[in-house]
Structure 1
Amino acid sequence: MLRHALPRAVPLCLVVLLSACGQQEPAKISITPAMVVQPQPSALANQSYPGEVRARFDPQLAFRIGGKVSKRLVDEGERVKANQPLAELDPQDVRLQLDATRAQVAAAQANLNLVRAERDRYKTLLDRQMVSRSQFDNAENLYRSGEARLQQIKAEQDVASNQASYAVLRAPQDGVIAQRQVEVGQVVSAGQTVFTLAADGEREVLISLPEQDFGRFKIGLPVSVELWSQPGQRFSGRIRELSPSADPKSRTFAARIAFTAGKVPAELGQSARVFIQSEGHSQLSVPLSALTAENGAPYVWRVGQGNKIEQVPVRVGPFGENTVPVLEGLNADDWIVAAGVHVLHPGQEVRPIDRSNRTINISAKD
């Protein structure tokens, strides 16, 4: 009897199992989160150039006469005051020249006294008609010649006295010795640079502009400056000076950037970056991670209506370190998927989030 009941029980169990499977709920499709960003101004429109903080005035100091350096009184980096002695030349030669001119002044003064007395005697004799007029005129001319000679020698004495003072090189104003190019015992010529003084006061940033981009810049162009010691903080400035010729070695053009933001905590020698907004450039840029390609054609994923993504072909410029400029294909208010683009497919619904993992309601942004 058990043998006859088993065949009937097995089909009944199968029916119960199949009916139970049919009652399970279908699995929900999960929506993939996607980090999105909006295109930013391209680096081509806001290029940065490394630079160094310099003094607004940095005169090159030199002796006005030549000679042998006998004393060096300051070192590089030392702060100096106006009229402070910086270096001295051996004064022996200029002192001998000064002594020689003093002796010449004394001789000229004695000669003038002699011809003056001679002229006075001839004038007395002329009044008594004991000498001719020509003899008196000759004595008068000798007196005038002696007087002019004395004035000439006194002028030469003043020059020699000035040269004696030129043997001491003094600071023209307060500042810091930026460079030193002389040592004790060195023979220098007149006008040869001995020190470079970074004068107190305004500070600037010196940058080098590439030859191919030089024509895009002009004096007065507004820029922004970021000091390496204060990252993230930018100070307004402008191009104050552009070199008219390229450096023969680097083939770059020097440019000086003046601060226009008032007092800036910039110290000599600090590194800085200068951001220049070039005219005529309005391209956008996206992160490198947002760009992908198919058959050599680049594209990005744009989030559209209903948070569904679509493939957007773009034309790009030269790749940067972290971004790539987009020349055509995007608008500034588009939302672009910035990560995981290789696993997406057209029409896929995503959950847009920002870099802080916060959900973005793109429909509300439009």
Structure 2
Amino acid sequence: MQARISRRTALAAGALALGATTIPATATAASARYANPLVRQRADPHITRHTDGFYYYTATVPEYDRLILRRARTIGGLTDAEEVVLWRQHADGPMGAHIWAPELHHVDGRWYIYFAAGDAEDVWRIRMYVLENAAADPYTGEWVEKGQIVTPWDSFALDATTFVHGGTRYLAWAQQEPGIDSNSNLYLAPLTDPWTISGPPVRLSRPTYDWETRGHEVNEGPAVIQRNGRVFLSYSASATDANYCLGLLTASADADLMDPGAWAKSADPVFRSSAANSQYGPGHNSFTTAEDGRTDLLVYHARQYREIDGEPLLDPNRHTRVQALGWKPDGTPDFGVPVPDSR
């Protein structure tokens, strides 16, 4: 999601961690091909493969008013899978508008959905929230609101994701920090439970490069993959038009992840618009694995055209796409370029 648009326009409109398994550097895009777009008009896609053999899919809907879920035995099966509504926005107050970027995670035997939401009376008062379901099957049981994820600042916050490293569960997210003139930066903190951070967070990145500050100064949408002795955290940058792209932070698996100095930032975007393939604004990604259990997959959204009539956030055509994530000989991810549409 983009961190800020004009209030006038808004009112008018109304990382999954995949473990530390080493994947050979020879894994390439040729090893997994999917028909794209995978799901139309679904942005900020998150796909997780559970131990029950299902792929679970969540994403932002253009109406920004509900949380949806699909599941299928294959990635391709998500295209036509039944979509169910798990939760709807409140009629008033918190969690009453701008329902954004849901992620489904299974933690200690329970299901959790992380998402961002505004207030019905103040749609840009975006904060992070969590739902919990104790049932083994997330399509059953009751989704209980666990409330807001509280951080040191009561400010614009979104895009929470969680992962485990070295026996510690972490939360990564984007937030506007008072005193810093940017729309959102990236933060990390350990968790005491799935909705409570433990101790002060650290800032991992703020938008400073030209490609991070086009239209808006944005670092958001963190996603984590752990491979080859390193922790990789991808993120989205700039406005949600054709400038939207992915950056990458890298830390050694032996490092203290709470030390900002342990993270190296890519000087250039690792994934960006491709005019040759008619894919624009690729971003807000997640990671999963292919049906073979070995090939890593990049899940993201993008549009099929560059020019947008009006505010980008009001354009519904950010479609979910998926393609294989390659690996370079040095063990770092090779995002490649957004593949062309195949349907």
Is TM-score (shorter-chain normalized) higher than 0.5?
no
Q: What TM-score comes out, normalization by structure 2 length?
A: 0.21
Q: Which has the higher contact order (CA 8 A, sep 6+)?
A: 1
Q: What TM-score comes out, normalization by structure 1 length?
A: 0.20
Q: Which has the higher helix share?
A: 1
Q: Which has the higher strand share?
A: 2
